[in-house]
Amino acid sequence: MIIEIDFWADHGHFSHPATIYSSLSYPIPTKTAIMGFLGAVGGLDSVLSYQFLNEIRYSIKINRIGGKSNYCFNGVKDALPSVKAQQQHIKQRKQFYRELLIEPSYKLFIDFSACIEESKEIIENLKNHISLFQPYMGINLCLANFEFIAQHEESIHKNSEYLAIDSFITLDMKFEIEFDKNYSDIRMPLSVEEGRIFGKFTDCLVELNGNSILAKPQEYSSVGMYNLVFI
């Protein structure tokens, strides 16, 4: 079962998972960021509590990214230990820069088939526009909103021809570069375990303006009016 939702915010930032003060952002939410969003929808407050979401598959289409801009933030020198009250003193404070996406908007397709029983409350909350914690676009400075669009059954196709794919593709697929389009390749994690241990990295190609990618996947999915690659 695949849930289609629209997901948007005024700003967004998806930093590399191995860093805390990363300045650059992925152009799209990673699977682990989507897991965090779904955890917020379901009121799950730790990686351990939503670890079953490692079983989801997802695909994404960019609706719009209005650009990027660098912003300066006030922070603390040691991000994780600073939660202790005795360490909150002025010498640890610092300024840091972070690249934010401007008015990012995405169409998310989430396949819950492998964890349907554990995800029932999350799915119902998505359908009813309920989130037990505040959703955000990557980091808690970027509050986000979402809208349930539809529930779909997936149609999987074998393929041997080039066709327009509306989502990202993986870089093990053949593809054609079209010179009026804007591409970026990214390496994203597909799983996260307790202690912020990320794994199962994959390399993807994204068209940054939300246009299709001419590719030759051996297998792709039709969901509604879209041809998608799931990871």
Interatomic CA distance for residues 91 and 80, integer angstroms: 16
Model's pTM, two decimal places? Answer: 0.88
Which pLDDT value is given to residue 81?
52
Residues 6+ apart with CB under 8 A from 227: 163, 164, 165, 166, 167, 212, 220, 221
Kindly state the tokens that stand for 203. Answer: 């390399």
Domain 2-228 has CATH 3.30.70.2660: yes
Which pLDDT value is given to residue 24?
86
Residue pair 221/228 in contact by the 8 Å Cβ criterion? yes
At 71 the three-state DSSP class reads: strand
Nearest 5°: CA angle at 37, between 119 and 156? 60
Kindly state the tokens that stand for 72. Answer: 């300066």
Which pLDDT value is given to residue 142?
95
Ordered per-residue pLDDT tens for the chain, 231 residues: 999 999 999 999 998 766 666 688 999 999 999 999 999 999 998 888 888 999 999 999 999 999 999 888 777 655 555 455 555 555 667 777 889 999 999 999 999 999 999 999 999 999 999 999 999 999 888 999 999 999 999 899 999 999 999 999 999 999 999 999 999 999 999 988 877 778 889 999 999 999 999 999 999 999 999 999 999
Kindly state the tokens that stand for 150. Answer: 């539809």
Q: Where in the chain are the domains?
A: 2-228
Which pLDDT value is given to residue 92?
67
User: Whose CA is closest to 36, among 191, 141, 170, 188?
Assistant: 191
Which pLDDT value is given to residue 194?
79
- CB neighbourhood size of 212 (10 A): 17
Q: Are strands 183-188 and 219-223 parallel, antiparallel or unpaired?
A: unpaired
